[in-house]
Amino acid sequence: MALDGYADQRHTRRAMRAELLDAETERELAYAWRDQRDKEALHRLITAYMRLAISMAAKFKRYGAPMNDLIQEASLGLMKAADKFDPDRGVRFSTYAIWWIKASIQDYVMRNWSMVRTGSTSSQKSLFFNLRRVQAKLEREASSRGESLDQHQLRQMIASEVGVPLNDVEMMEGRLSGSDYSLNATQSSEDEGREWIEALEDDGAQAAEIVEESHDRTTLRGWLAKALADLSERERFIVAERKLRDDPRTLESLGDELGLSKERIRQVEAAAFAKMRRSLEEQSTELRHFLG
C-alpha cells in the first residue's frame, strides 16, 4: 500500500469518507489478515481507520513537522497495529491502534526536532512532550499559593512529576531552550486571549485508555482462572509447577514426585494446555457474541 497516496488533500478527504466498520466486520477482516495474510482485508481495515491516523497526526502539527509527513508516520503506526492486532482479545481495533499511531508520530517528531537530535530513551521522550506543560502547571500552582520557585526547585519538582532523574530535566531544558517561548503567553493581543498552554494535549494515559487496559487485564485473569479451575487437581499441579513458577520444574523432577514417567508428565501437560485453550476460546467467543 502506497503511503504517499494520502499526502495531498484529495486523498485526505477520501480517507475521511471511508466506510465505518462495525465490530463483526472488523473482526472478520482482522482474522483474514492474521490467519490468511489477506492483503485485501488489510487494505480495507487500514483504509477504514485512516481517519483516526489523520486525526492523531493533526494533534502534533504544533511541533512544526509537515502535515503530510505526520500522516505518513501515522499510517506506518496504523499498519504496525494491524499487523500485531489480535482479534481474540475482544477489544476494538481503534483502541489498540491509538498507541501504535501515537508512538510512531512521537518517534518521528523526536527524530526531526532540531534541538533534540539524540532524544531516544523513554525518559527523554516523556520530557520532550511533557516538560513545558508540567513546568507551566507547577508555576501556576506555586503562584496561586503565593510562592516563588527558583530554577533548582522547579527542576526538582518537574523530575518528580514526570518520574525522571534531575539531570535529564536539566539536559532537556538546554535542548529545548533555543526554540521555546512562554506557554503562558496569550494567543492573541486581547486581554482575555487563551494561553498557549491551554492548547496542549495531555500526553498521559486518558481515562478511557486506563479503564480499557484495566478491563482487559481483569477479563484475562478471569478467563485464566476459569480455565485452570476446569483442570483436574493433577493437571493444575503440573501446569503450576511448569509454567507459573519463577524457576519452572523439569518433566523428570515432576515424574519422580508423582511416580510417573517423563513422557506421561509431558502428555498430561499437553492435555491440560489443550483444555485451557478450548476454555479460553469458548470464553472469548461468548464475549464476541455479547459485544457483536
Q: Where are the domains of the chain?
A: 3-112, 122-199, 207-291
3-state secondary structure 8-50: CHHHHHHHHCCCCCCHHHHHHHHHHHHHHCCHHHHHHHHHHCH
**227: CB partners within 8 A, 6+ apart:** 275, 276, 279, 280, 283
**Residue in 39, 57, 47 with CA at minimum distance from that of residue 16:** 47
In the numeric block, the cell 525518559 is attached to 123
Q: For domain 3-112, is the CATH number 3.40.50.720?
A: no
For residue 269, what pLDDT is reported? 92
Q: Is the dihedral of CA 150, 124, 109, 53 positive or negative?
A: negative
For residue 191, what pLDDT is reported? 52
Q: For domain 207-291, is the CATH number 1.10.10.10?
A: yes
For residue 198, what pLDDT is reported? 66
For residue 116, what pLDDT is reported? 44
Phi, psi of 191 (to 5 degrees): -60, -35
Distance CA 117, CA 269 (A): 51
For residue 73, what pLDDT is reported? 92
The whole-model pTM stands at: 0.49
For residue 127, what pLDDT is reported? 77
Q: Please state the separation of Cα 143 from the chain's center in Å.
A: 35
For residue 20, what pLDDT is reported? 84
Q: 23, exposed or middle or buried, with CB in 10 Å at 0-12, 13-18, 19+?
A: middle
For residue 285, what pLDDT is reported? 73
**103: CB partners within 8 A, 6+ apart:** 77
Residue 283: Cβ within 10 Å count: 18
Q: What is the pLDDT along the chain (292 residues), one digit of tens a residue?
A: 444 444 546 656 776 677 888 889 999 999 999 999 999 999 999 999 998 898 889 888 877 788 888 988 999 999 999 999 999 888 899 899 999 999 899 888 877 765 445 455 666 777 777 788 888 888 888 888 888 888 888 888 888 888 888 888 887 777 666 554 555 666 665 556 666 666 666 665 555 566 667 767 787 888 888 888 889 999 999 999 998 888 889 999 999 999 999 999 999 999 999 998 888 888 777 655 544 4
For residue 289, what pLDDT is reported? 54
Distance CA 255, CA 262 (A): 5
